[in-house]
Amino acid sequence: MLVDVGARYVIVGHSERRLNHSESNELVRRKAEAALAAGLTPIVCVGETLAERQAGRVAEIVGGQVRQSVPDSGGVVVAYEPVWAIGANSTPTMPEIAEVHRLIRETLQAKFGDEANRTRILYGGSVGPKNAAEIFPLTASMALW
């Protein structure tokens, strides 16, 4: 139905779905595979909670989500959305965003080799008028590196 109305992308694995509907990495991967089969590009959302960040588990959580949620065929967009920053007044620092983008890229490279360099990585999480000018140039330059 989404393709019929002209959609080209679909979000899977958003934190609200993962938390409120107990969507596992495996289910997110299967949804991404279904989206690809239907001719859509899935945007696979990944991100850690505040407790996970404070416990030093960002690499474990986000890396695991990328390894297990992204289909083996690739063909996705990955969106880093720290759960603790969505709809909040808290935003990661630019070095923190860059660190997680680098982690995502390295995890994709381990999974896909050089092909991973074509995967777009986005940032989302409390982007607004006060911080957009700082975040957008940083994440645009990182989207394909």
Q: What is the 3-state secondary structure (H, E, C) of the chain?
A: CCCCCCCCEEEECCHHHHHHCCCCHHHHHHHHHHHHHCCCEEEEEECCCHHHHHCCCHHHHHHHHHHHHCCCCCCCEEEECCHHHCCCCCCCCHHHHHHHHHHHHHHHHHHHHHHHHHCCEEECCCCCCCCHHHHHHHHHHHCCC
Give the least confident one: 12-21, 89-98, 100-109. Answer: 89-98
* Predicted pLDDT of residue 140: 56
* Predicted pLDDT of residue 85: 83
In the set 26, 81, 96, 115, the catalytic residue is 81
* The pLDDT of residue 138 is above 70: no
* The pLDDT of residue 131 is above 70: no
Q: What is the mean pLDDT of residues 65-82?
A: 95
* Predicted pLDDT of residue 145: 41
Q: Across the chain, what does the average pLDDT equal? A: 88
14 is catalytic: yes
Q: What is the mean pLDDT of residues 88-113?
A: 89
Domain boundaries, the chain: 9-142
CATH of 9-142, one of 3.40.50.300, 3.30.750.24, 1.20.140.10, 3.20.20.70: 3.20.20.70
Between residues 122 and 41, the one the model is more confident about: 41
21 is catalytic: no
The whole-model pTM stands at: 0.88
Between residues 82 and 136, the one the model is more confident about: 82
* The pLDDT of residue 6 is above 50: yes
* Predicted pLDDT of residue 3: 85
